[in-house]
Amino acid sequence: MEIKSGFGVERESEVSDLKKKLRFEPIKNNLSKLRELGRKLKVIQRTSFRRKYGNLLGLLELEIEIPIVTALAQYYDPSIRCFTFQDFQLVPTIKEYEQIMDIPLSRGVPYKHLEQLVSISTLSSITKIPQDTLKSRLVDIRGTRVISQRFLEAYLFQLSTEGDWEIFMDVLALTLYGVVLFPCVGNYIDYAAMDIFVAVRTRSENPVTAVLVDT
């Protein structure tokens, strides 16, 4: 976290106004089943998963203290994208996100949104879910297309039972992109998260900057 100190006293009233006005409502997802599913991976498989997708499993296991996050959020200034206190500012850095996610910036070019959504056929090819099934499971919520976390969890359980761990890891990563990295609608994975996942999976694009911007 980069620290910038010494800005003027005139900022005090702005900080006070910010604390009064900011409304913060965290997106709540049920992670218990995903944690159970993630723990099914053996050591070698977890190592392979980390090489492909970074520290997603570690982030999944984190317990988020909502009151602490809510309190900190009161000091966030959206206009300059930093936490503003009376005598200093805290700015999240790319380097920190690189370390948190365990994805070096040297690993692929940064994610580039191509202004087109990933195709059903591509998702089907990666997840091995039939295209007709995917189409029937995609629904519109709040103007965006999403797929149910519960449906993907059931599919992950099926894959673990069948021992298809390669597909299991890809579907687990897809789910975590929508639930952990880019949450949008509670208990659903939206199309934007799917698009970023596919860019990482098929084009080796780096998601670190996208996560920082979304945060």
pLDDT recorded at residue 3: 46
Task: State the Cα–Cα distance between residues 37 and 42, nearest whole angstrom.
Answer: 11
Inter-helix orientation angle 43-53/165-176, to 10°? 50
Give the model's pLDDT for residue 20.
56
Distance from C-alpha of 183 to C-alpha of 180, rounded to nearest angstrom? 6
pTM of this prediction?
0.84
pLDDT recorded at residue 151 = 97
pLDDT at 39: 96
Q: What are phi and psi of 76, to 5 degrees?
A: -85, 130
Beta strands in the chain (DSSP E): 2-5, 76-77, 82-84, 88-91, 139-141, 144-148, 188-190
Positions in the chain whose pLDDT score sits under 70: 1-28, 114-116
120 and 113 Cβ atoms separated by less than 8 Å? no
Q: For helices 165-176 and 191-203, what crossing angle results, to 10°?
A: 130
Number of domains observed in the structure of the chain: 1
In the three-class reduction of DSSP (H, G, I as helix; E, B as strand; rest coil), residue 189 is classed as strand
Phi, psi dihedral angles at 125 (to 5 degrees): -65, -40
**End-to-end Cα spacing for the chain:** 14
- Integer Cα distance of 131 and 135 in angstroms: 6
Residue 77's pLDDT is what?
84
Q: What is the pLDDT of residue 14?
A: 52
SS3 155: helix
Residue-level length of the chain: 215
Phi, psi for residue 109 in degrees, rounded to 5 = -80, 155
Quote the domain boundaries for residue 55: 2-214
